[in-house]
């Protein structure tokens, strides 16, 4: 008998083992930042920079193993997320095309958007043999087939409010995670809080449950907690769980800023009712 999820908790363990114990359709949405499989056996350094490429064991798999792993965790996510819930997946050019193929062809999920996360201050390319990589990618999918997908959550008017009254585009610019967000400990692929906060506000509603199978330093949990969403965050590294717990413990109790107010004014409601009218 699957266990009902204990919400607002950090769970130390293998995400596949933990998710297999969860009931079907027990979460409204999932935001996942999985291993990109880019680590090297020995981190590559550069004489003119303190930057070292990743050399993490959890981020290094053989090709067939990586394919099987991605298919396995995506299947579990599709099972535990409710029909028409949002599934948002992070990746780089190393893995995002495989993840997109598995979501579309392997699981027959509807992909709504790609989102480009553009770093305003990327690390330099230390090999001098290719362009400097300044972007990561997000796939926004609906947990349903393309034919049956409907009614997914997208807080359109909040998105416009965040973007000075204009439609929000799919290229989002943020600097690399600042030191202030790493004061409780470092994670090699930690995302800026503002990026995860935007995903929470645009793709979920207060009180809904969000699953994070690869929680790392707990940024998604922190964003969800601040904005009144329920969450479950999983990671198999006790050091990262400890960092995430310190970040959550440092949050002032009861000080959670409200989501931006909706922008839907009366004239915009009228335009929606006009035949053939499109929002700005």
What is each CA distance from 135 to 90, 93, 149, 263, 276, in whole angstroms? 11, 9, 29, 30, 36
Burial class of residue 194 (count of CB atoms within 10 Å of its CB; 0-12, 13-18, 19+)? middle
Residues 6+ apart with CB under 8 A from 8: 221, 225, 230, 231, 232
- Three-state SS at 106: helix
Q: Which structural domains are found in the chain, ordered by start?
A: 9-273 (3.40.50.150)
Residue 82 pLDDT > 50 = yes
Residue 44 pLDDT > 90 = no
CB atoms within 10 A of CB 206: 11
pTM of the model: 0.83
Residue 270 pLDDT > 50 = no
Residue 61 pLDDT > 80 = no
CB 249 within 8 A of CB 14: no
101 pLDDT band, cuts 50/70/90, is: very high
1 pLDDT band, cuts 50/70/90, is: low
Continuous H helices in 163-273? 193-203, 219-226, 238-249, 266-273
Q: What is the pLDDT of residues 115-135, one digit of tens each?
A: 999 998 888 887 888 899 899
Break the chain down into helix, strand, coil percent, rounded to 5: 30, 20, 50
> Rounded distance, CA 159 to CA 164, Å?
9
CB atoms within 10 A of CB 272: 11
Summarize the confidence of residues 12-37 as an average pLDDT.
95
Residue 21 pLDDT > 80 = yes
CB 57 within 8 A of CB 79: no
Residue 51 pLDDT > 60 = no
Summarize the confidence of residues 215-238 as an average pLDDT.
97
Summarize the confidence of residues 211-218 as an average pLDDT.
96
CB 243 within 8 A of CB 218: yes
Q: What is the pLDDT of residues 199-209, one digit of tens each?
A: 999 999 999 99
Q: What is the pLDDT of residues 136-179, one digit of tens each?
A: 999 999 999 999 999 999 999 999 999 999 999 999 999 989 99
Position 94 scores a pLDDT of 86
Burial class of residue 78 (count of CB atoms within 10 Å of its CB; 0-12, 13-18, 19+)? buried
On the CB side of 256, how many CA atoms lie within 13 Å of its CA?
A: 16
């Amino acid at each position: 008998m699957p266990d009902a999820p204990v919400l607002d908790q950090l769970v130390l363990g293998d995400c596949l083992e933990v998710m297999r114990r969860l009931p079907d359709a027990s979460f409204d949405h999932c935001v996942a930042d999985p291993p990109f499989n880019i680590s090297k056996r020995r981190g590559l350094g550069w004489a003119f920079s303190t930057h070292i490429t990743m050399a993490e064991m959890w981020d290094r798999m053989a090709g067939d193993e990586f394919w099987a792993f991605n298919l396995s965790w995506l299947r579990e996510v599709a099972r535990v997320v409710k029909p028409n819930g949002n599934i948002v997946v992070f990746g780089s050019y190393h893995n995002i095309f495989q993840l997109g193929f598995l979501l579309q062809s392997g699981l027959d999920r509807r992909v709504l958007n790609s989102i480009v996360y553009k770093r305003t201050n990327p690390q330099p390319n230390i090999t001098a043999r290719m362009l400097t990589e300044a972007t990561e990618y997000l796939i926004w999918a609906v947990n349903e087939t393309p034919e049956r997908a409907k009614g997914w959550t997208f807080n359109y008017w909040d998105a416009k409010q965040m973007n000075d009254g204009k439609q929000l585009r799919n290229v989002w610019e943020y600097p690399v995670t600042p030191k202030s967000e790493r004061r409780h400990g470092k994670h090699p692929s930690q995302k800026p809080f503002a990026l995860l906060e935007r995903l929470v506000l645009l793709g979920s509603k207060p009180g809904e449950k969000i699953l994070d199978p690869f929680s790392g330093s707990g940024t998604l949990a922190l964003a969800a907690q601040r904005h009144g969403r329920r969450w479950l965050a999983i990671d198999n590294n006790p050091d990262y769980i400890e960092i995430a717990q310190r970040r959550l413990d440092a949050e002032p109790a009861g000080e959670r800023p409200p989501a931006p107010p909706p922008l839907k004014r009366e004239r915009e409601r009228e335009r929606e009712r006009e035949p053939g009218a499109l929002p700005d």
